[in-house]
Chain A
Amino acid sequence: MASGYSAKEEDGHHSGALGPAGGAAVRSRKPDNTAFKQQRLPAWQPILTAGTVLPAFFIIGLLFIPIGIGLYVTSNNIRELQIDYTGTESSSPCFACSQNYSWNMTTPCVCSVSFSLDQPFESNVFMYYGLSNFYQNHRRYVKSRDDSQLNGNLNSLKEPSKECEPYRTNDGKPIAPCGAIANSLFNDTLALYYNDPNGTETQIQLVKRGIAWWTDKHVKFRNPVGDDSNLTAIFQGTAKPVNWQKPVYELDSDPENNGFINEDLIVWMRTAALPTFRKLYRIIEKNSSTSPTLPRGNYTLKITYNYPVRSFEGRKRMILSTISWMGGKNPFLGIAYITVGSICFFLGVVLLIIHHKYGSRSSSADLTH
């Protein structure tokens, strides 16, 4: 009898004790004497006081300052050279190229920028292109891709995702790869020449493999597989992205770097976090153990200028950089570590003083029990 109503009583507010049993069942119920129910579980009760926290400050200080110094030194040892070749200034060698720009130019506009290295670049040198004021992280842009198509799905190849609009189809044919990201693939060609003191110009070998994440190259991006091993045949019936000069199956002569698994494409498809970004373009491998990869001297950067940035006030850079275990040059981490470490150490000292000077009353109280 009573049970029916205890359930009703719970309505609206939870009743702790009145289980469905209710009534007489409750009467004889003695609470269990378990540690859990009595809130007496064994517990570690840390007491954080000035005394216990002080060492932490010193430890953090002592730990962070060396790390910071290490980072700072590492960062400082990284050689980095940036060349802005946007060509907005009339003095710039690429001024002409940047002015008369049109997508369907038959003869590419080439400009060269000369620079010199005061110090040699040892070990592998990484060549990046950098763009500024380019919003690769715009939501409309980020969405505009079809990962399924890029993964080699044949259905998606013929029927790309709606997200790719307005670069989904062209003249009724599906675009491969579809979407705004792929459409705006960076297509400047950068070539580097070493000007020998004797006057000859030698082109520096640029490696275009290994610039994309391994998993992207091997898992996330795949060429569609058809009856034919020939990419051209597989991409039959698709259109090239509007702004591309060549279709996707002609991106590279190397079949391992062609089609969707072209590393330039893969790198580009990884949208950058911030509007100013750099992307890995080529790697200059160290070829002999004796001579530096890029010795001191004069160089020429020859740019096939295809990529327009003037319309949105963007800028283009070429960056040469060596790499350490922490990646590219970034003084921030080292300085931040040193700063935080110093602050900790300083605070530790201050606290110690306070603790000794003013805390004697309270600390003696601490100690009495």
Chain B
Amino acid sequence: MWRRRLTCLFGGEEKRVDSRTIHAGRGSSPVADAFPQQKFCDNRIVSSKYTIWNFLPKNLFEQFRRIANFYFLIIFLVQVIVDTPTSPVTSGLPLFFVITVTAIKQGYEDWLRHKADNEVNKYPVTVLEDGKRVGKESEKIKVGDVVEVLEDETFPCDLVLLQSSRDDDTCFVTTASLDGESNHKTHYTVPDTVKDVESLHATIECEQPQPDLYKFVGRMHIRRDGQETAVRSLGPENLLLKGATLKNTKKIYGVAVYTGMETKMALNYQGKSQKRSVVEKSINAFLIVYLCLLVSKAFVCTTLKYVWQNQHGQDEPWYNPKTQQERDTNLYLKMFTDFLSFMVLFNFIIPVSMYVTVEMQKFLGSFFITWDKDFFDPEVQEGALVNTSDLNEELGQVEYIFTDKTGTLTENNMEFIECCIDGFQYKNHKFLTETDGLCETDGPITITLNKAPEELEELFLRALCLCHTVQVKESQPVDEIDGVVLDQVDGFSPSPEDQCAFIASSPDEVALVKGAMTHGFTFIGSDSKSMKIRNRDNRVEVYELLHVLNFDPVRRRMSVIVKSESGEVLLFCKGADSSIFPRVRKEEVDRIRVHVERDAKEGYRTLCVAYKRLGNEDFARVDAELREARLSLHDREEKLMAVYNQVETDMILIGATAVEDRLQDRAAETMEALQGAGMKVWVLTGDKMETAKSTCYACRLFQRGTELLELTVGALGEGEGKREERLLELLLEYHKRVVHDTPPSKTGLHRTWSSPGQDYGLIVDGATLSLLLNASPDGTGSHYKNLFLKICQSCTSVLCCRMAPLQKAQIVRMVKSSKGSPITLSVGDGANDVSMILEAHVGIGIKGKEGRQAVRNSDYAIPKLKHLKKLLLVHGHLYYVRIAHLVQYFFYKNLCFILPQFLYQFYCGYSQLPLYDAAYLTMYNICFTSMPILAYSLFEQHISIDTLLDHAALYREVAKNAMLRWGPFFYWTMLGVFHGLLFFFGVYCVFSNPALLPSGQVFGNWTFGTIVFTILVFTVTIKLALDTRHWTWINHFVIWGSLAFYILFSFFWGGITWPFLEQQRLYFVFINMLSSMSAWLAIMLLIVLSLLPDVLLVALRRPRGRNTRQVLPRSPLCFPSIPHQVFQIPPVSHLHAHISSFLHASFLCISFLCPLSLFNSAVAG
């Protein structure tokens, strides 16, 4: 919807021009007229879909695009056009109801959007026009306007910052409403813009709008009177995004570059591609079956009708002549309309209400996830968040979990543990007591016994203090009422001596700066030009900040270039060992590598620190290159990267740091439970292998006995050419070991849990993976992939380290599309997990410290990893069972609703006479039977929550869509057929003598239908009652209420002659029926008989309920021995299954044959 609107707005333009030119302070620019003025959209935000005028047609069109609605519309139209048995009201009313409710809901939502849009669009802003401040409505802002924004106001459009009221030409911004990161971000004014904004003459060239929040490339030409035009580069640090809020800054001026629907915020709110659940696929499959059933029923009836009519005297007996119109109609046309009539008569077999109920169930059901107080985390002050309710049941079907490590398995709460300078280890004294145990195992290295040379030590600490993007949070003035920011302060309480806290986008950096602080070097603050640190002698050193070479995940390092007070130009660089080691001198590496590897093994995150002195000429060259790269409009990223890589060479390694990232609360327990539930957990991380491996051990993903198979660069050895051969060798070897070792446990659908044999764990790294996935495109490539997949599937857990975000998604896609298309789930907290969250069937976001991007893109968001256990094991399981039962029940109840009507055609000359009154036909699905199943599908807990939590293995019972496979579907269909046959023929036998009243009077056809319908409503409702294992008062109310409502309605409907009805068909039919003892007895008998098989099955089924405990010791022999259970709703134990299926079958036979033979004999006699 959005995309379409946007492309039609300016899609074409985008292709032609890939940058836009904006004249700041337009009116006064003489050059402006020379250029053909580009057209930009105004600053109106339109998120609403409809206007008053187009609401009705557009909404109807949207609604009827849904296949189900369209089907019902067709049925309705057929009823209107063709002479059909049921009046158009019967299908028109439900359809109208559904359409109206949806339209009202969408209309209301759209009204809300209109309101919100208006609020935004009418917001008063101040714009500078011809040097004067003019008040305007926000929607009137045009591209090129200079806009004034005050503190705590949100930016009305995307602005390039020109002037700030702060002295250091910065302003602070929170983007909480954009990406949820509530920390203050610093934005810089365009350097050299004149202080006097009113007289600014400038042209801005920038790229066309694009949704990436963190990318902006532009160039500003500033003209001053009589001076040469100055060119300044613009980057994301100059761009203030619409939706962000100005903080800590009195006032700013900025020039509007993107407005209205072209702002990054608007571009980012495009709909995600909708994920569909397996249940929905099952529904569609079942629908097709029922559609076939419907068509074949209609076909059989039509055929039989014409066969029957060919018999002598049956087509048009004297008492029932055709109308003139009927006689005139062409035979084939007549056949066709007859076919349509039968379709209409039986169309209730595919109910509108099922869609409504499923939608309602999903929508209402998702509230229970948000309401769950177990998901509330006092630290984040939030509970779970449901972004889509379409996938509730998918949570109960997960087979593979892909989890991020940092921030997901671990807390992402960094603590500086130790550092190593020039090969000597320094423990953080603050944490000495905690890490004491570890220290002793350290062996030869003892604390601070050996010290590095002092100047090296200080250099190292200075590097820690300078090489970062941390900001110091200013002590809050009294008038500042801003509580939000405190969340992000990293638990660091400002020490009394310096009232400050550090704010950074990555917690590692804060940990490092704080670590340096404990060793005597304190970072005091920075502005755009300089950084201040207080050294051990309590003297403040000021460094001029020349360049920041930002961190990015590809380079995996960052650098700063600073000029010290002595005029020395230094480059400090910190980054992952793998990215630093090749760029420093070899001899230093070995001394530090020992430490780094040992730290990594203990699960710490390690960073290496290096520096480089830059001579004046060197610096001048670097400076020029950097500036040039920054100014380039195209491929700026690549150019910058090239320069960075060039600069960051020949450095000198000073030391390494180790930061501990604690495991999340109950991470191990959660992982164990999930594995116990039959899910395979894969850890996908960008971290290095050793760290990730230790985390895996800590999380008990790898056990002591797990045999680790490594597919890493290390295992492959050096040398490009040999790698592929070696990889194949390894793959074959592992495959042999893993797959051939455990052949018996691979039987059937059931996964290898608790297999007595060897557990395997696989470790893959990014380089090997890309080798695997991008292997030569000929046949071997897919061969590799297959081998790899097979190995993976036989391993209990897989660890993929050194992953780029895209590789994470690749892995997910690979598993997703593997044989059996398993359901995948991705958990992550950071922006680097977004790709895999979007790729997996279900994406879970952790409300971690790395911003809100993962949460925003997820389907469900939870505060902590530990909540995943309940989300999957309880909510997922319950929702799956609920919706599966809902779907099956719906098909069942409509089958046994329509089957008697079908059978009745054989006894009414195939004349399409409905068995039930129109009111019953209409109300059956709407009122009489819809509420109990809705209540069931919202409140059922066939196993109590606690039991589900305690016994993870219960999750396996619903694995692989167990309740919606063809087996259970067949069972339900058979049950529906059985009930339908029983209802009809039972009453048919009773009606062999229609004199059922004690007064000798007889019943007619409407009484016949009413008796069948009464039995139907009761049976179907009681059947649900039998299936209900969790009777809350709501269930009681709704189940008994529906039955009571049916009776009341029947009294009422039959008690009055309705003036609007053409025929008073049901007048006193129900009451007369109740005055017949035989009818009562027949109803009771047939209800009991219908439910008998179910009760029997219950009796033979394993007991379930709150006390279920014996589920666990189920012997592994049990499952393989009955691979194809037909009655598989919940698994039945071995012996019982056979008996029950036998009894059930024989029971069906008996109950059919008995009454029929009896009836025959009765008639004969």
Contacts and interface: CB of A to CB of B under 8 A. Distances in A.
Interface of A: 1-5, 7-18, 20, 23-24, 26-33, 37-50, 53-54, 56-57, 60, 64, 67, 71, 124, 126, 128, 134-145, 147-148, 151, 161, 163, 165-166, 180, 183-184, 210-213, 215-216, 219-220, 267, 270-275, 277-280, 283, 308, 311-313, 321, 323-333, 335-337, 339-340, 343-344, 347, 350-351, 354, 358, 362, 365-366, 368-369
B1139 interface: yes
Interface stretch (B10-18, B452-460, B939-947): B939-947
20 contacts: A1-B177, A11-B1, A11-B109, A15-B386, A17-B370, A17-B384, A24-B176, A39-B945, A41-B939, A48-B1103, A147-B1064, A211-B1001, A215-B1068, A220-B1057, A277-B994, A312-B317, A325-B1077, A327-B1078, A330-B996, A340-B1092
A343 B1 CA distance: 61
Q: Which of A13, A50, A163 has the most CB of B within 10 A?
A: A13
Nearest to B1165: A331
Given A11-B109, A128-B995, A323-B999, A138 B908 contact: yes
Given A4-B113, A31-B375, A140-B322, A270 B120 contact: no
Contact of B1139 (A23, A30, A354): A354
A362 B381 contact: no
A275 B904 CA distance: 11
B371 A358 contact: no
Nearest to A48: B1098
Contacts of B45: 4
A51 to B, nearest CB: 8
Contacts of A210: 999
A364 to B, nearest CB: 10
A281 B1133 CA distance: 60
Nearest to B487: A27
Closest 6 CB pairs of A and B: A4-B116, A16-B386, A184-B319, A328-B995, A273-B1008, A47-B1105
Interface of B: 1, 45, 47, 49, 85, 109, 112-113, 116-117, 119-120, 154, 176-177, 243, 265, 269, 271, 274, 312-314, 317-324, 326, 362-363, 366-373, 375-376, 381-390, 484, 907-909, 911-913, 939, 941, 944-945, 986, 988-1005, 1007-1009, 1026, 1029-1035, 1057, 1061-1064, 1067-1068, 1072, 1076-1078, 1081-1082, 1085, 1088-1089, 1092, 1095-1096, 1098-1107, 1109-1110, 1133, 1135, 1139, 1143, 1147, 1150-1151, 1154-1155, 1158-1159, 1162
Contacts, number: 388
A39 B879 CA distance: 12
A315 B907 CA distance: 16
A13 B385 contact: no
Given A17-B383, A323-B998, A347-B1096, A43 B243 contact: no
Contacts of B999: 210, 323
Q: Which of A3, A31, A134, A327 has the most CB of B within 10 A?
A: A327
B1063 A147 contact: yes
Q: Which of B324, B385, B1078 has the most CB of A within 10 A?
A: B1078
A273 B1008 CA distance: 6
A126 B997 CA distance: 12
Contact of A4 (B117, B944, B1104): B117
Contacts of B390: 13
B1085 A336 contact: yes
A67 to B, nearest CB: 7
Nearest to A359: B1136
A354 B271 CA distance: 58
Contacts of A166: 321, 323-324
A38 B371 contact: yes
A139 B1064 contact: no
Contacts of A60: 1088
Contacts of B1002: 128, 267, 270, 272, 277-280
Contacts of A7: 47, 109, 112-113, 116
B907 A39 contact: no
Nearest to B375: A31
Contact of A1 (B154, B993, B1109): B154
A329 B383 CA distance: 68
Contact of B120 (A4, A16, A38, A335): A4
Nearest to B311: A313
A67 B1084 CA distance: 12
Given A43-B939, A46-B1031, A331-B1162, 4 more contacts: A41-B1032, A50-B1099, A312-B314, A340-B1151
B995 A321 contact: yes
A38 B373 contact: yes
A327 B1030 contact: no
Contacts of A33: 373
A31 to B, nearest CB: 4
B1029 A46 contact: yes
B995 A278 contact: yes
Contacts of A270: 1002, 1004
Q: Which of B313, B993, B1089 has the most CB of A within 10 A?
A: B993
B1060 to A, nearest CB: 11
Contacts of B1008: 273-274
B318 A326 contact: no
A57 B992 CA distance: 29
B75 to A, nearest CB: 18
Contact of A8 (B113, B326, B913): B113
A313 to B, nearest CB: 6
Contacts of A30: 373, 376, 381, 383
Contacts of B1063: 143, 145, 147
Contacts of A32: 371, 373
B1158 A135 contact: no
Q: Which of A5, A23, A57, A134 has the most CB of B within 10 A?
A: A5
